[in-house]
Amino acid sequence: MLGWCAIKGDRIWVLKNVITSGISGLLMLFVATGIIICVEKTLPSSITAIVVCASPVWFILFDKANWKLNFGNKTAIGGIILGFGGVLLLFGEALIKSFAVNIGHPQLTGLLLLLLSSMAWSAGSLFSKKRGSTGSARLNTAWQMIIAGLAFTLASFFNHEYRGFHFSNVPPQTWMALGYLVVFGSIGAFSGYVWLLSVKPATQVSTHSYVNPVIAVLLGVLFAHEAISPLQLVGLIVILFSLLLVNFTKYTVRMPKISLPVIFKKKNDKHLATNDLAVNPFKLDINKSTCI
């Protein structure tokens, strides 16, 4: 992807851009995603999905510069709260089964780390939006993934994960899944996410975490022939409605300004003048003109 940026004429070796992209990439991809990878070994995926979906809340809390705007938008706040409720309904049945199992110290530690993961993703996203690269979104994305990938490589060496690993032991299905994630997950979806951060409000972009579970459930129904319960169906509807509320200002109809003709007669002037003014006629200086 960095090569593609070079072909398109982007200035690749700008130190400031590399540093800012590296910071946001480490927060989002290395810290946030890395925690999820580790935590899913001890926590059910339903709990992981619910805690991760709390990221829109952290977006609002961390975006101090837009507190007045965000907290003043009642429909957006209501949509975010409603969307989280929809996620609870979507994974409600699995969540109940998960709580039936005794939660020990590893699970509690995992929950705390998941909160840190959600906070790191939100902080990295806001850093990318506020102080991100001055280059293109594709260049910002490329450096984020390269630096986070290097960090993962170093961490795997320190954790001795390469011991006993052989490429011949990796089945073809795994390579196909990896290729799919590289093309559609990293280059496609993550690049689109970084680009949206640069052109849309952070609160609107953060609601992608509500869409991901919906897509996962629908893909499970279509390709894995999984059954969807009535409670999950209600959760899907609630999430979709919450997204409508978050983006409600985009769908509201604003009445256009109508310019009304104002007829006035100047004093000491025998002629009448008609102007098409987009102002309040009562704001005219009565000492200079007389409304008819």
Same domain, 30 and 118: yes
Per residue of the chain (292 residues), give pLDDT as tens. Answer: 888 888 888 888 888 888 988 999 999 999 999 998 888 888 777 677 777 887 888 888 888 888 887 777 788 788 888 888 888 887 777 777 766 655 667 777 887 888 899 889 989 988 888 876 677 888 888 899 999 999 999 998 888 888 878 888 889 988 998 898 888 888 888 888 888 888 888 878 888 887 777 787 777 778 777 777 788 788 888 887 887 787 766 555 455 555 555 554 444 544 444 444 444 444 444 444 444 4
Same domain, 110 and 33: yes
251: its two tokens = 């769908």
Same domain, 73 and 160: yes
What is the domain range of residue 274?
260-291
d(CA 212, CA 189): 11
Same domain, 208 and 264: no
- DSSP secondary-structure letter at 102? P
As a three-state string, the secondary structure of 238-283 is HHHHHHHHHCHHHHCCCCCCCCEEEEEEECCCCCCEEEEECCCHHH
Same domain, 173 and 287: no
d(CA 27, CA 126): 10
Same domain, 213 and 116: yes
Same domain, 180 and 266: no
Same domain, 71 and 201: yes
Same domain, 222 and 102: yes
Task: Name residues whose C-beta falls within 8 Å of residue 240's C-beta, 6 or more positions apart in sequence.
Answer: 214
CA dist 6 → 11, 16, 37, 139, 272 (Å): 7, 17, 32, 9, 66
Same domain, 25 and 112: yes
| pLDDT of 163 | 81
Whole-structure pTM over 0.75, yes or no? no
Counting the structural domains of the chain, the total is 2
Task: Name residues whose C-beta falls within 8 Å of residue 176's C-beta, 6 or more positions apart in sequence.
Answer: none
Same domain, 217 and 247: yes
Same domain, 7 and 55: yes
